[in-house]
Amino acid sequence: MCLGVPGRIVRWIDHDPTFAKAEVEFSGVSRVVHMACVPEAIIGQYVIVHAGIAICVLDESEAEKTLAAFSTLEEVDDEIPR
Amino acid sequence: MKYLDEFRDVTVARKLIEQIRNRVTRPWVVMDVCGGQTHSLVRYGIESELAGCVELIHGPGCPVCVTSVELIDFAVTLSGQPKTIVASFGDMIRVPGSNDSLMQSRSRGGKVKIVYSPLDAVTFAAQNPELQIVFFAVGFETTAPATALAVLQAAKLGLTNFSVLPAHVRVLPAMQTIMEMPDNRVDAFLAAGHVCSITGFAHYEPFACEYQVPVVVTGFEPIDLLEGILRSVEMLEQGILAVDNRYGRSVQREGNVTAQALVDRVYIADDRDWRGFGTISGGGYRLRSQHANFDAFNRFPYKHGARASQKSECRGAEVMSGRIKPKQCPAFGTACTPESPLGAPMVSSEGACAAYFRFEPVLMENPQ
Amino acid sequence: MTVAKPTSTCPVASNGSNTIMLSHGEGGRAMRRLIRDRIAAKFAGETVQLHSDAASLGKIIGEIAMTTDSYVVSPIFFPGGDIGSLAVHGTVNDLAMAGAKPLYLTLALILEEGLPLETLDRVITSIAAAARVCDVQVVAGDTKVVSKGAVDGIFINTTGIGVFHSDHRMSGSSIQPGDALIVSGPIARHGLAVLAARESIVLDPPPITDSAPLHHVAQELVDVVGGDLRTMRDATRGGVAAVLHEWAEESGQAMWIEEVRLPLLPESHGVCELLGLDPLFVANEGTFVAAVAPHRIADAMAIMQRHISLGAPAHIGQARIRQLSPVLVARGLGADHPLDEPFAAMLPRIC
């Protein structure tokens, strides 16, 4: 049961450990998300949101690394005659 | 959407499929244990693309599907009590218990509220002090922090009309159960990405070692899945029986420590009856005694071992343990459809049977 | 349909009340005043049936089209519309999609005891405004009040009368293999707007309904594309998926579409991802699907582009000879997947 969607933190609303909330944007739409599990997250970072709470901060450098690996994957493969 | 669309790129996916095909020297059996992954694998046609080189089987990845009939029956009973509302996720309300689902209970006057978040149920309870709100807390480790937080918020707010019906399940004990089955065929596991976002993956290391099975932490988009499968195949071909993480953008080895602490304040691991599997040791969470006043089992009378039955034609357990494919069940698509399901895997959109019913390509129409 | 229960303990309407009471539906002075002051007055200048049991429509030249629909949407108000404008647009669109020019509407209201009069006023104002925009006259009406709980605030039935503006009769059965399937604009807006409003899912900006009249674009399509326009249908309940299934059944062909070609606003995409919804199943109220002969795709799309405010019509697929599945979607890596028929309202899921 793991529908988790990446969204970008727009604004912190509350830093209370239990009621922590931030406004998080998904493709142009914002929603208030509970942040108790990611108190360290800062504005501009992406979080994975599941059932109304952020479950982790998305590591953008890891994502870029993966994507970069895909682009080399394509280059290498393009050289293979088909 | 950023960090979603890039991982659905068809060109990259095709390259990965080719790499997997090139790597395989014998057909391997890879099991996912997350309904979200089952859904994507079938929806994007990855399964049929890999036919003949990797067999994908879909384990008990749908927490809605493994929620015991007794718990559903209890929720249905509660929804019929005066001034009591059962709240849960949309996925849960169509799952049949012994007789009724929550949806059917609602049609008979039962009070059922669908929420997107358990914290919305807390807010609703705060706004409606004259009503008892019971949150039917289903889900894997991914969802447990949200419902644990709901309990902590309700405690802070001093709510006496909010409770949780704990039905969370834990993935690793189920993976162990599958590996202990004498007819198990699993060569490698894709570990559920968002479960690992919370739990990390260090605890899979002794498991991989003990059962001699590679475990690859994998995301949900087609490219994530293909990466996870490719890595599983590489590890199998090279005889590496360990854990690897292919969902680095959302998963760290130690997981989300804040979330783990939050869950630990509210829940403790406990034995749990999994629908179709029987009791799994450590297979679920119960509320800690200091939060007993938020436990629906305490607040409302509950008869343990109440008589419950699943319709006998359902072979969901065999499907979820990978012993048969959904289409091998004689009831699939005939007596059992998402509209009138015989068993839970056909109900939830992430159940293996429903995913097949909905997305499996019609092979006759795709001769290539 | 629930009807008013006769009751012996009916409260008497007091002048100071600001809610609907059972007496408002019981034929006396309260009812007469309600209809005169709060309903008929809003339709001033139109030939509303007021002092007679039946309206006279005069002579209608041409073949008459008639349709009826009931509106029970909850909540009554949602971003971009309300039950009143919906009750006009929905019925106008049913006429328009059949190739008829809408002329007249009837309006039947079933009101729940306790409904704030202010709410009724807003709905009636909305109905009147929508009717004006659609250039239809509300010619007959009925008002009933039922006891609390028998309906959810307000239910509306409208019957529409129109006149076909050509001899071409459209039908799903005339769809032939190779015909193009075109959707008029971004899908899934109405369903998301209502779902978010009903389930209190707070989103910023909130999703806005696409509810809008389609009679102008429909008329031009019929006039210009003629017989090459096989049929069209507004993709209401069950969304685009429901339309494709209806056409597959009526034509005996398969409806094949490509997922990547579906027009979807970025914000709708975000909400669908967040709530785990498939936009193909989400309702629309001002977006339609047309089946046209393949050589008229450009003509049809140009007309849609001109009329639909949000633009972006899309050629999403074609009719094919049926093999096995009635509706197929090419998804993901390109393989065709059968699309199941909508059977229940979409619910937000977390799985």
3-state SS, one letter per residue, for chain C: CCCCCCCCCCCCCCCCCCECCHHHHCCCHHHHHHHHHHHHHHHCCCCCCCCCCCCCCCCCCCCEEEEEEEECCCCCEECCEEHHHHHHHHHHHHHHHCCEEEEEEEEEEEEECCCEHHHHHHHHHHHHHHHHHHCCEEEEEEEEEECCCCCCCEEEEEEEEEEECCCCCCCHHHCCCCCEEEECCCCCHHHHHHHHHHCCCCCECCCCCCCCCCHHHHHHHHHHHHHHEEEEEECCCCHHHHHHHHHHHHHCCEEEEEHHHCCCCHHHHHHHHHHCCCHHHCCCCCCEEEEECHHHHHHHHHHHHHHCCCCCCEEEEEEECCCCCCEEEECCCCCEEECCCCCCCCCCCCC
When CB atoms are compared, the residue of B13, B89, B365 closest to C323 is: B365
Closest-CA residue in chain A for C274?
A5
In tens, the pLDDT along B239-280 reads 999 999 999 999 999 999 999 999 999 999 999 999 888 899
In tens, the pLDDT along B127-157 reads 999 999 999 999 999 999 999 999 999 999 9
Whole-model pTM: value is 0.89
Quote the CA–CA distance of B213 and B101 in Å, as a whole number.
Answer: 38
Calculate mean pLDDT across residues C281-292.
Answer: 97
Average pLDDT, chain C: 90
Closest-CA residue in chain A for C196?
A31
Q: What is the pLDDT of residue C165?
A: 87
Interface test with C, best of A1, A8, A27 (most C CBs within 10 A): A27
Q: What is the pLDDT of residue B361?
A: 58
Task: Tell if the CB–CB gap between C333 and B10 is shorter than 8 Å.
Answer: yes
C3: alpha, beta or left, given left = phi > 0 and alpha = psi -120 to 50?
Answer: beta
Higher pLDDT, C328 or C200: C328
In tens, the pLDDT along C65-96 reads 999 999 999 999 999 999 999 999 999 999 99
Distances from the Cα of B111 to the Cα of B77, B106, B123, angstroms = 10, 6, 17
Neighbours of chain A (3+ CB pairs under 8 A): B, C
Closest-CA residue in chain B for A21?
B119
Query: Which of B209-218, C12-21, C125-134 shows the lowest per-residue confidence on average (mean pLDDT)?
Result: C12-21
Calculate mean pLDDT across residues B278-305.
Answer: 92
- End-to-end Cα separation, chain C, in angstroms: 35
Query: Which of B42-51, C219-228, C297-306 shows the lowest per-residue confidence on average (mean pLDDT)?
Result: B42-51
The yes-or-no verdict on residue A79 having pLDDT over 70 is no
Calculate mean pLDDT across residues B44-65.
Answer: 88
